[in-house]
Amino acid sequence: MSHCESVGSSVLTTSLESWQRHFDVNARAAWLLIRAVAGRLPVLEAPAPPVARIVALTSDHTANNLPYAASKGALDRIVIASAVELADRGVRANVVNPGPIDTGWMTDDIRATGVAATPAGRLGTGRDTADLVRFLFSDAGSWVNAQLLHSSGGFHTS
Complete domains list, the chain, with CATH: 16-150 (3.40.50.720)
Give dist(CA 71, CA 24) in Å, integer: 9
97-126 mean pLDDT: 93
Selecting among 66, 68, 96, 123, the annotated active-site residue is 68
| Each residue's pLDDT tens digit, 9-38 | 999 999 999 999 999 999 999 999 999 999
**Could you confirm whether 58 is annotated as catalytic?**
no
In sequence order, the 6+-apart residues with CB closer than 8 A to the CB of 88 are 43, 44
pTM metric for this prediction: 0.93
